[in-house]
Amino acid sequence: MKQLIALLALAAALPGCGMRPLYGGGPNGAVRQTLASVEVAPIEGQQGWLMSNALRDRLAPSSGSAARYRLQVVLDDQITGLGVRRNDTITRERRTLRARYQLVDLANGGVLVDATAGSDAGIDVVGSEYATIAAEQTALERLSGIVADQIVARIALYAQRTDGVE
């Protein structure tokens, strides 16, 4: 009984905490509408292709509607050797993917969000060159998804704070 009362008291206190769901309002909410109206500008290279696809998957632009915003992204992708054997061969690598991005209002060209996102992954270097290249590629694909999640989350926070009003 005491647990039930404590649970009810906690539930009653939550609405007053000022927190609200990021995607409140579902598909018609301000956040979803803002994300659906973002077009992704072309990004250079294979990393850019992966990042563009990851962003488009997460933004889910609505077909037929005109874009209100453009997302411009510049990537920095680096692989650094870490572990070194006595014969100077590398045993471990770190792949780092960083993105500098800007959300631009297409109506007036103003920059609404200017930020960076990034992540890194460790890669074991093995005797097979093919296996190492495959691991590097897999890391890039995974990192593209992680960084895209960070970018979309930041844009969603912007949309929630402005509630779709600039």
Bigger pLDDT: 32 vs 69: 69
Any idea where the domains of the chain sit in the sequence? 2-162
| CATH of segment(s) 2-162 | 3.30.160.150
The mean pLDDT value for 28-47 works out to 87
The mean pLDDT value for 115-120 works out to 96
CA dihedral 59, 63, 68, 69 (to 10 degrees): 30
Strand partners, 118: 98
Pairwise CA distance, residues 10 & 133, whole Å: 52
pLDDT of 127 > 50? The answer is: yes
DSSP H/E element including 75? strand 69-81
Contact between 69 and 104 (Cβ < 8 Å): yes
Bigger pLDDT: 29 vs 18: 29
